[in-house]
Amino acid sequence: MADTNPITQFEIHEVAPLEVAGLNLAFTNSAFFMVLATVSVTLLMALATNKRALVPGRGQSVAEILYGFVADMVRSSAGNEGLRFFPFVFTLFIFILAGNMFGMFPYLPLPIHGVDNHGFTITSHIIVTLTLSMLVMAIVVGFGVYKNGFNFLKLFVPAGVPPVLYIIVTPIEVISFLSRPISLSVRLFANMLAGHILLKVFAGFIVMLIATESAMGLVGILPFFMVVGLTALEFLVAFLQAYVFAILTCIYLNDALHPAH
């Protein structure tokens, strides 16, 4: 029974140690999987679109469907004006999607020294998802103030409310706004964390049951079917959470474009 601990998969290992002015800036397995996601997506997209065929081939259709999917998402929630943020939303969506999908490998044999062979889900760490959502919020606030100036604060003063109620409504709106980056990041992180722990717990049951070396080992077929089912569910969650993150980004960007409503 080598390792049935379901949370070993979230451990961070240093791949290449690096220390700058007392700060530990080591290249970790988390950073490695981020680079893997970015590089593979970039290569895939470059390869798929380098022909620019009028009648798209298989790879190009995938790229075009992805483009259309995200463009529709941006247009439907942030309007045509929102399309200026299309590169940002597309990058965010595809990065999270690739990170989630690479996390679905339970075992990823890599030839690089120091990188552990077990898979790693970058989005299962709240520091990663919180950084992404803070980036979204920084863009919402930055662009909102740049475009609307003082009018951006109308976000906290909804129209059609009697002025007396602003004492209560404005703090509520402020807290609601401040809770956005947290709910955005917690949702993605909690979904990936819970799903992957669940997968490994059930996979651990198989190992434990077989390790008894008795007839109990045959019962191991039951958690095995569970793991198969859960893996399918996790693929759905991996896509769905990337989608939810991207569509909420669009909705928040819409607030930056039109604060008064």
Partner 1 sequence: MSDNDDPDRSQPDAQLAEFEKRLNAKLEARRAQESKYDRPNSNGWAIGFRYGTEFIVGVLVGAALGFLVDRFLGIAPFGILIGTLIGFGAGTLNVVRAAKELGERSQR
Binding site for partner 1 (CB under 8 A): 76, 168, 171-173, 175-176, 178-179, 182-183, 186-187, 190-191, 236-237, 240-241, 243-244, 251
* Residue with Cβ nearer partner 1 (138 or 174): 174
The two three-digit tokens of residue 76, written as one number: 């439907």
Q: How far apart are CA 113 and CA 16, in angstroms?
A: 9
CB of 125 to partner 1, least distance (A): 17
Long-range contacts of 107-112 (CB under 8 A, 24+ apart): 112/15, 112/32
* Residue with Cβ nearer partner 1 (36 or 184): 184
* Residue with Cβ nearer partner 1 (5 or 183): 183
Q: How far apart are CA 249 and CA 75, in angstroms?
A: 12
Specify whether the CB–CB gap between 62 and 48 falls below 8 A: yes
CB of 257 to partner 1, least distance (A): 16
The two three-digit tokens of residue 216, written as one number: 């109990």
CB of 61 to partner 1, least distance (A): 19
Q: How far apart are CA 182 and CA 139, in angstroms?
A: 15
CB of 237 to partner 1, least distance (A): 7
b/e burial code for range 146-158 (CB count within 10 A of at least 16 → b): eebeeebeebbee
CB of 149 to partner 1, least distance (A): 25
* Residue with Cβ nearer partner 1 (35 or 174): 174
* Residue with Cβ nearer partner 1 (15 or 199): 199
Q: How far apart are CA 185 and CA 14, in angstroms?
A: 24
* Residue with Cβ nearer partner 1 (16 or 182): 182
Which residue is associated with the tokens 């976000």? Answer: 155
CB of 53 to partner 1, least distance (A): 27
